[in-house]
Amino acid sequence: MLKKLGAFGFLVVLILSLTLSGCFSFSVPDPSFTVEGVEDGQTYEQPVTPTIEPGKGTTLTITLNGEPFESGTTITQDGEYKLVIVAKNSRGKETTSEIEFTIELDVPLITITGVEDGGYYWDAVTPNITTDGENDTIVVTLNGEEYTLGTPIEAHDKYTMVITATNEKGKSWTVTIKFEIGAPPEHEIGIGEELAGFQPASDSVVLSYNTDPQYIKSGNGSLKVEKDGNSGHGPRLNRKGDHPDWIDDWSRFDKLTVWFYVENVDSLADNALTFRMYSEPQKDFGIAKSSLTDGWNLLEIDLKALVGSDTDILKDMSSTFIEFIIRTSGGKETFYMDEFKLTMSDLADQ
């Protein structure tokens, strides 16, 4: 049986509520950070790389001799330096720290051009390595093997290059950089005026080169697809192995993308599109009408998900062709396609 609370009971509940609220409120940590690479009052005979990491809930403002400084930047010039770090938490509480240090270089200063740490390249690279001393000796290894300066690096691989320079005093400095050479992050399978490499799958499909800018996503032209009836056919690519931009190895790419234009999405059947890879075994990827809208639509085919465990398919596409099957609700319809591209979604994972 429920009873009403009197004024005293209400007051007790209110006090208890406020007390519990205070007990369980979340405190905001004080601003904090860590510094590695330099210490206050020290003098260094080689370049230094200050690394400043914020603590939980902390934002940092960092300056070096009054100029903005990015954590992880290597300082290579002689001089006296003052690193100022201002840390602030979400409640505005602030703390400031100053680190003063001096650099008096007594080691060779290494300069690297032609390749950068963390770089990704799809053409051959030739690192150029110099120092500030005429008589310095330079020793370089590439993935643990001796590397001869001036040799182009071409093979697709991940590389670690270690450079050690030594001056006449016997003082040394070592720099390590990592980079990768692989497939381009994007490869376009172009649409030329002659439509080389494009073929209709049946007589119900007519392909032509469109120059009306209203139906071009980019460039000078697009693929015009006229479809008569609701038969399951569409444009094919590389059916005869004759597309000039076709590449045999797709294994480095994550997606195939293409822009698809439909004037009225209701002209399509419910199972509107199928991307078909004529491989062994055959692979299909369906696109429903419900996922499309009037106008331009970006179609994305996840290649890794498409082939599943049959990953060898993507390694050799030389004898494979593809088709974009278009299903209409009946009658003659016109569609446009543009920008057929192979893409890599995340270079860091490659």
Does residue 109 or residue 345 have the better pLDDT? 109
Query: Which are the contacts of 82, defined by CB distance < 8 A and separation ≥ 6?
Result: 64, 65, 66, 98, 99, 100
Decide if 36-103 and 110-181 have a common fold. yes
Q: What is the pLDDT of residues 194-233, one digit of tens each?
A: 999 999 999 999 999 999 999 999 999 999 999 987 678 9
User: Is residue 217 within 8 Å of residue 187, measured between CB atoms?
Assistant: no
Count of C-beta atoms within a 10 Å radius of residue 17: 10
* pLDDT attached to residue 347: 46
Query: What is the residue extent of each domain of the chain?
Result: 36-103, 110-181, 186-349
Per-residue tokens: 300: 């994305």
**pLDDT value of residue 11:** 41
Under CATH, what is the fold of the domain 186-349? Jelly Rolls (2.60.120)
- pLDDT tens string 106-156: 999 999 999 999 898 988 999 999 999 899 999 999 999 999 999 999 999
Q: Tell me, what DSSP letter sits at residue 73?
A: P
The two three-digit tokens of residue 14, written as one number = 């209110």
* Tens-digit pLDDT profile for residues 260-280: 999 999 999 999 999 999 999
Host H or E run for residue 173:
strand 172-181
Mean pLDDT value across the chain: 90
pTM of the complete model? 0.55
CB 253 within 8 A of CB 225: no
Distance (Å, whole) CA 197 – CA 236: 8
Query: Other CB atoms closer than 10 Å to residue 19's CB: what's the count?
Result: 10
Contact 237, 340 (CB under 8 A): yes
Q: What burial class does residue 76 get, using C-beta atoms within 10 Å of its C-beta: 0-12 exposed, 13-18 middle, 19+ buried?
A: middle
3-state helix, strand, coil in the chain (%, to 5): 10, 45, 45
Strand partners, 200: 235
Question: For position 231, what pLDDT does the model report?
Answer: 76
In this predicted structure, the answer to whether residue 337 has a pLDDT above a threshold of 70 is yes
Q: How far is CA 225 from CA 28, 131, 252, 287, in A?
A: 60, 60, 30, 17
Q: What is the mean pLDDT of residues 301-311?
A: 95
Class of domain 110-181: mainly beta
Q: pLDDT tens-digit profile of 230-261? A: 678 999 999 888 899 999 989 889 999 999 99
Contacts 24+ apart (CB under 8 A), 100-103: 100/40, 100/41, 101/38, 101/39, 101/40, 101/41, 101/42, 101/43, 101/44, 101/48, 102/42, 102/43, 102/44, 103/43, 103/44, 103/45, 103/47, 103/48, 103/75, 103/77, 103/78, 103/79
Q: Which of 1-15, 73-87, 109-123, 189-203 has the lowest mean pLDDT?
A: 1-15
CATH topology of domain 36-103: Immunoglobulin-like (2.60.40)
Checking if the pLDDT of 24 tops 80, the result is no
Structural contact between residues 303 and 254, judged by C-beta atoms closer than 8 angstroms:
yes
What confidence tier does 26 reach under pLDDT thresholds 50, 70, 90?
low
Whether the predicted pLDDT of 73 surpasses 50: yes
- Tell me how crowded residue 192 is: count the other CB atoms within 10 A of its CB: 14
